[in-house]
Amino acid sequence: MPEHQTGIPGDYTLGELHDLLWSVTLPTAARRLDCDKDWLREFCDYSVIPLPKADYWQKKRSGKRVHQRRLPKGLDRRETIAALVERRRRGQPPIDPIEDEQDVLDLIAVIDELEVEFRSPDSKARLHPVVAATRRVMKKTARDQWSTRFNRIRRRSSFAEPVFIAEVGVESVVRTAHLLQGLVEAVRKLGGDVDASRGDVACIELLGVLHRVRVRERLKRHREAAESRETVRECWRPTGVLELHVESWLGGDLLEKWTDRRAPLEAQMRDILVGLVRVAQVTRAEHRARQLAEEQAKREREERRREAEEAERHKHRGKALLEVAQQHAAWSTVARLLHGFRGGGALPGDLEHWLFRAEAAAQELNPLADGVASLRDAVEKRVDEQMRGWHYYDRHY
């Protein structure tokens, strides 16, 4: 990436840059940021920031539906461009690489030697229960054509039994079922399995991570004249080109995709299995990072709670010590008064007895009568009683 002095503010974030690049064209964005267009393009290539394709703006101007790609996982929208430029200058990647774990490497080595078999269309062997249920659903819902392009991604709100998500035409039902069966058998050979206990959509479990699998068939727009020959009816027909999507189990976000365009999915099964392992590795790393962040936030919250509790106790301790000081001052006054009675010489017997009893009673008022340690314990006990029912409310939430 060529060195170029830009006028981009130091606190300009990647999220702001991504939003700008998808709201205006690249030359316009470069002028607004006071930088060279080629520099900005190479910076986006380095930092893996997606850019709109050539026909994106043409489709948007014509009112067609367009898709805005998000920042890849691992990039923080709050990170500044200056920080990323500094990482580039030092030769560091924009996203910290994830170290390979031994179980991941061992599993990839097993995949390299694994023979994945696919059954012939006329095979009578039993399918996995989830694959069999998916095939039954496909037979009921598969169509020769769709009225709109996006009808195919709508699925029923619930199924009678757990299934994989498959949106294919009539001609691709058998192939999709055998493809899913081969994938399930390969995953089970690798130590994984199919998890069908978490709802109506089954998941692939590998390396302790759950992922959803979705098979889609690409559609092609087709126009034909209606019966009246005055209007043209538009529909979408299946092309036979399948796509295999791996999605996150909870959010349904697309994590990885393979298509028939380069080669049939059956020929790419090893790459698909390696992709599943890598996706599981990234998911585990994100989970560990999230756990560490939660633990750090918990420690910080506990530290704030201790500081707030100590401040509250200090406030109550100050009030208790003020009361002790006032009590000590009152005792000193009474003690001086009684001592003054004795300053006049000998006293009658009854008055001497009364004065002795008064001095003993006054001594009980002395907070230091039992020593400093006893006074400290009494103050802390009083503070504990006043702190009873105190609750900490974190202002950071």
Return the domain boundaries, the chain: 14-89, 117-265, 305-387
Largest Cα span, the chain: 136
160-195, pLDDT tens digit by residue?
A: 889 999 989 999 999 999 999 999 999 999 999 999
The pLDDT score that the predictor gives to residue 4 is: 45
pTM score of the predicted model? 0.68
Q: Which two tokens stand for residue 80?
A: 């500044």
Distances, alpha carbon 212 to alpha carbons 157, 182, 285, 305, in Å: 16, 16, 18, 41
The pLDDT score that the predictor gives to residue 118 is: 86
The pLDDT score that the predictor gives to residue 361 is: 76
The pLDDT score that the predictor gives to residue 6 is: 58
d(CA 370, CA 390): 30
d(CA 207, CA 104): 8
- Note whether 362 and 336 are within 8 A (CB): no
Phi and psi for 238 in degrees, rounded to 5?
Answer: -65, 145
Neighbours of 357 (CB within 10 A): 10
**b/e sequence 46-57, b meaning 16+ C-beta within 10 Å:** ebebebbeeebe
- Note whether 241 and 261 are within 8 A (CB): yes
H-run or E-run covering 248 = strand 232-248
Give the residues of the chain that fall short of pLDDT 70.
1-7, 150-158, 225-232, 341, 343-351, 396-397
Q: Decide the pairing of beta strands 209-225 and 203-206.
A: antiparallel
Helix (H, G, I), strand (E, B) or coil at 325: helix
Helix 26-33 crosses helix 14-21 at what angle (to 10 degrees)?
140
Chain-centre distance for alpha carbon 248: 11
| Of 221, 257, 226, the residue nearest 242 (C-alpha) | 257
The pLDDT score that the predictor gives to residue 349 is: 63
Q: Which two tokens stand for residue 177?
A: 């079922």
